[in-house]
Structure 1
Amino acid sequence: MPIVMDDLFSAARVPEKLGPGALFLPGGAAALQEKLMTQVEAVLAQAPLRQLMTPGGRRFSVRMTNCGALGWHSDAAGYRYESCDPLSGKAWPPMPEEWITFAQECAAQAGFETFCPQACLINCYAPGARMGLHQDSDEDAPESPIVSVSLGVAAQFLFGGTSRTKRVRKVSLLSGDVVVWGGASRFNYHGVAPLGVDMHPLTGAYRWNLTFRRVTAEDSP
């Protein structure tokens, strides 16, 4: 698959369309970074990070956890959402109300006025960790977008099309950047290149990613 190696947004960090229904919001969460990380720590105290396995038995290089009414999980039984943390048997920590409001505001900027997230996936990238190109297709709410927030060490976000053969663009994501994709771009392939070795005053050597999703239809609880 062709990858465009030029960073399209290195010169002018302004909101930019990545495709129909897809919007890059540089610095969209810049003012909230410290508070977001404090709230992440509170979630981790209840639902620690874990390194999940694919159904085929391969471990993800990214560690993760969840908050909200539902949480994403993967094991030999497949990819799915669970209402309780499989490690503790307890409900996932509640999603902070400010997170819901913020995700809704970001979604609205991309034209999705009714977005109401049910899950926030919290991913932690150590140096060398990556996320291969994939589609977010475990949700039953195709009308709802994905809202993704980056915190800490910079990363290269790969954003492709609806098939693996489509052109893939590389976007530099700095701490506080936000990407929203939905509509015709909702099932675009996307991923994260291996994280480089770097340090950030907020997160040390790590990159954190908050991914807000609607799992069931908008008229569901």
Structure 2
Amino acid sequence: MTSDLFDALPDAPGNPQPLADGAWLFPGFARADATALLAAIHSVIEAAPLRHMVTPGGHEMSVAMTNCGPLGWVSDARGYRYSPTDPQTGQPWPAMPSGLRKLAIHAAERAGYPAYEPDACLINRYIPGARMSLHQDKDERDAAAPIVSLSLGLPATFLFGGMKRADRPQRYRLAHGDVVVWGGPSRFVFHGVAPLAQGHHLDVGGHRFNVTFRKVT
């Protein structure tokens, strides 16, 4: 059996895996709803196409991004920030699809964070070779709310470090339908994604979607 076929099998979710204090990996948590979630993602991309944002230092990100919900994360020469409008169109970001919102709320609750209400949803598309360097999510004013991260498509190596960039990160394989939630003592942990390996997923193709939910305000 090939790894491609394995990643497309509708198997049951695995046991939750603690990553650190306040941080959990839920294997296969969203696998049963993956088809509907992918349809929701594509509806957002149709309204607000993916783009490669530029860092304040002038570097184009290898990950293509878009947003949905009341606020969207943007990066340009002015810095990192959240905006209620898409800078390419000047229009509000697409509404957050109810299926995505409900998934984030359910996952946060399972991780011990009740009454979670995300107001920003970042959709990232990784193609082979794309990566995300170690960073902290610290542009949100509400630091009490966790980060919820959904993986769909090709498997990726998630890097989960410590409170300092120099801390050696642990490496976790994220497969189709896996969800990671981190908050509380782990809210500002440095994390990232290693360069995506070549592959083909039967439902998603030759790339990976990462959908990250935040509560900004």
Answer yes or no: same fold by TM over 0.5.
yes
Look up the match of 2:27.
Answer: 26
SS of aligned partner of 2:108: helix
Q: Report the TM-score when normalising by structure 2.
A: 0.93
Q: How many residues align?
A: 205
CA positional deviation for 1:148: 0.2
CA positional deviation for 1:54: 0.3
The residue type equivalent to 2:159 in the other structure is: L
1:91-110 equivalence runs, <5 A:
91-110=92-111
CA positional deviation for 1:202: 1.1
Q: Which runs of 5+ in 2 are unaligned?
A: 1-12
1:61-210 equivalence runs, <5 A:
61-210=62-211
CA positional deviation for 1:169: 0.5
The residue type equivalent to 1:16 in the other structure is: Q
CA positional deviation for 1:96: 1.2
Between the aligned partners of 1:44 and 1:84, the Cα distance in structure 2 is 15
SS of aligned partner of 1:106: helix
Between the aligned partners of 1:88 and 1:176, the Cα distance in structure 2 is 31
SS of aligned partner of 1:113: coil
CA positional deviation for 1:13: 4.4
Deviations 1:84-124 (A, max 9, x none): 00001110000012222211110011110021000100000
Look up the match of 1:43.
Answer: 44
Between the aligned partners of 1:94 and 1:110, the Cα distance in structure 2 is 25
| Compared CA separation, residues 101 and 13, structure 1 to 2 (3 A) | closer
Identity %: 52
SS of aligned partner of 1:198: coil
Q: Which runs of 4+ in 1 moved over 3 A?
A: none
Between the aligned partners of 2:102 and 2:198, the Cα distance in structure 1 is 33
RMSD: 1.1
The residue type equivalent to 2:184 in the other structure is: G
SS of aligned partner of 1:55: coil
Q: Report the TM-score when normalising by structure 1.
A: 0.91
